[in-house]
Chains A and B, each alone.
Chain A
């Protein structure tokens, strides 16, 4: 079955703290794609990163980094030195063939960064 679990409903940190958002997925496919999206208070979801199942290299983009581990079916997202502008809801998503080429989203993690 196709499933994405974001167990953390809400996280609150103080500015400049590091924070990790967890994502665990389930799929029968060997070829699949994982995504992270950010939804700020304005409401528009913004694409952050895509990772395919054959590329387990971690990725860093500025203060953002992603850790993909197939052994634990996890695709975690870390924000280093968080800022108030990072406050948003973050969604992890999975797209595969077994799911009919649909993308399913996790329930999201709401991140509050306090000044």
Chain B
């Protein structure tokens, strides 16, 4: 079974620029998550999709972050414009439907803002 695929692996941009991350979940997984992980902290949920609908985006800074899940499969997360405090690892995860399901994570994208 192929795991969760994320790209790019690393990204360096200057503040006020835009950036996009891509995620392809495990086949058959209805739920897709985007997390932000700042160095030394646990993952913080940004947005959760069930198929192509948003379940929770309460912690997504909507003035600069946006996300979509195309046809209930792939997903992109965009930041525009980036701020210095956005430097973090962005993790994508997927799971079967249900809050009792374990999540499967991709390798993450390490974003550095200069």
Give the B-binding residues of A (Cβ under 8 A).
4, 33, 35, 37, 42-47, 50, 52, 91, 93, 95-97, 100-108
Q: Do the beta carbons of B45 and A108 come within 8 Å of each other?
A: no
Given contacts A33-B100, A95-B99, contact A100 B56 (CB under 8 A): yes
Give the A-binding residues of B (Cβ under 8 A).
33, 40-45, 48, 55-56, 58, 89, 91, 93, 99-100, 102-108, 110
Cross-interface CB contact of B42 among A33, A97, A108, cutoff 8 Å: A108
Question: How many whole Å from B28's CB to the nearest CB in chain A?
Answer: 16
CA distance A54 to B43 in the complex (A): 26
Given contacts A44-B108, A45-B91, contact A103 B103 (CB under 8 A): yes
CA distance A105 to B33 in the complex (A): 13
Given contacts A43-B89, A91-B43, contact A101 B55 (CB under 8 A): yes
7 nearest A-B pairs in the assembled complex, by CB-CB distance = A105-B42, A101-B99, A45-B105, A47-B102, A95-B99, A33-B100, A44-B107
Question: How many whole Å from B38's CB to the nearest CB in chain A?
Answer: 10
Residues of B within 8 Å of A37, CB to CB, are 105
CA distance A46 to B56 in the complex (A): 23
Cross-interface CB contact of A50 among B42, B100, B106, cutoff 8 Å: B100
Residues of A within 8 Å of B33, CB to CB, are 103
Cross-interface CB contact of B99 among A42, A46, A91, A97, cutoff 8 Å: A97
Cross-interface CB contact of A52 among B41, B43, B100, B103, cutoff 8 Å: B100
Q: Do the beta carbons of A50 and B99 come within 8 Å of each other?
A: no
- Pull 14 A–B residue pairs with CB atoms less than 8 Å apart, ordered by A: A35-B102, A43-B89, A43-B108, A44-B108, A45-B105, A46-B105, A47-B103, A47-B104, A100-B55, A100-B58, A101-B56, A103-B45, A105-B44, A108-B40
